[in-house]
Chain A
Amino acid sequence: MSETIPDYITPEVKAIIGAEAPPITARHAVESSEVRRFHQALIDNAPRFWDPEASKRYGGPVAPMGFPVHVFRRTEEEPDPLAMMDQPDYDGVDRALRPGLPPVLVPLKRLMNGGYEYELFRHARPGEGIVLKSRYADIYQRNGRTGPIVFVVIEDSYETGAGEKLLRSTNTIILR
């Protein structure tokens, strides 16, 4: 029996390459307590995250550099991701990979984070809003020994609510 490798880059998937999300502001400003949980979970107690004396260069305590990447929490309007946990194939991850971008509708079950390229400018501080602009830079398929793999390349730009650049990233998500 011959096996045909499916092409997951359908016209519907092709149509979202280059799609840009409108600027999206995180629901709430950066909070000291979430910064604390974040740097403690990183096992990184650098004084710039908590000590006013040691953070003068930054204008006061700051969040770890990559913190803005994780501030786009579920809003009250969005469905509860845990509501689907009774489905045995549900992996807990929304296929809408960024707020404001359309989901990548590829029927591959496993999602892995392939890596990042970061350019870093400034830490976010408690009280500041975070604004994200995202774009699907590319979506493509490679057929490996273990089957088809779809790569989703996302460009993200993070700024403060006042328009100050925080960081830029290029993130590759792998679906297989």
Chain B
Amino acid sequence: MGDTQGAVFDDIEIGQYIPAVVKGPMTTAHIVRWSAAMENWHRIHYDWKYATEHDGLPDVMVNGSWKQHVMIQLLADWAGDTGWAWKVAFQFRGMNVPGDTLTAWGRVTGKEQRGRFGVVDLEIGMLDQKGQEGTPGTARVVLPLRGGPPVPYPFDPAILDAA
């Protein structure tokens, strides 16, 4: 298996959605597996009594730290091994709990050729199964032009200003 060809700048249209990344249904086990992997002992992620009675939450919480990596995965999967997910920003506005199925999504809002590469702006987010948005944000992805070289790795933004 070699490099995965990601999206090509010339094919991108403003307004298009990129392939979504779906996770879930989430369970307490998924949350505990993540909390243990990163050694996060915040009680709201595994102590139901503390989460509901002390903090007044509806249940234990899906980690914001986990959701952020899903947002990065959304962009990295789309960019493949030929592009680069350069910038990603989001706010954790919604609470997600066991039982939720989460869909990370992105929609192209702008595109610009810079040097030998293309820069694509997106709005991004993460919907639960009820269609509620919990993680709104923006992203900027660098893609190759059709027939052009892949985006060099490691990524250096200076390549966008080179002729």
Contact = CB atoms under 8 A, between A and B. Distances in A.
A43 B89 contact: no
B139 to A, nearest CB: 9
Given A41-B33, A47-B1, A92-B41, A119 B86 contact: yes
Contacts of A70: 38-39, 65
Interface string B17-30: 00000010000001
Contacts of B86: 119-120
Interface residues on B, range: 35 or more
Contacts, number: 123
A117 B37 contact: no
A75 to B, nearest CB: 12
Interface string B56-92: 0000000011101110110011000100111111111
Contacts of B87: 117-120
A41 B66 contact: yes
Interface residues on A, range: 35 or more
Contacts of B23: 43
Contacts of A57: 3, 81, 150, 153
Contacts of A48: 81
B76 A42 contact: no
Contact of A114 (B33, B70, B85, B92): B92
Contacts of A66: 68-69, 72
Interface string A59-81: 00000111001100110000001
Interface of B: 1-4, 23, 30, 33-34, 36-39, 41-44, 47, 50, 54-55, 64-66, 68-70, 72-73, 76-77, 81, 84-92, 137, 150, 153-156
Given A54-B2, A57-B81, A64 B44 contact: no
Interface of B is mostly: mixed
Nearest to B153: A57
Contacts of B64: 112-113, 115
A92 B36 CA distance: 13
Interface of A is mostly: mixed
A145 interface: no
A122 B154 contact: yes
Q: With a 10 A CB-CB cut-off, give which of B1, B37, B84, B156 has the most chain A CB atoms.
A: B37
Nearest to A67: B69
Nearest to A94: B41
Contact of A82 (B41, B55, B89, B91): B41
Given A38-B38, A65-B69, 4 more contacts: A57-B150, A91-B43, A92-B43, A116-B89
Given A38-B38, A41-B66, A64-B69, A118 B33 contact: no
A3 interface: no
Given A41-B34, A46-B77, A110-B55, A117 B72 contact: no
B72 A91 contact: no
A115 B90 contact: yes
A89 interface: yes
B42 A111 contact: yes
Interface string A156-168: 0000000011000
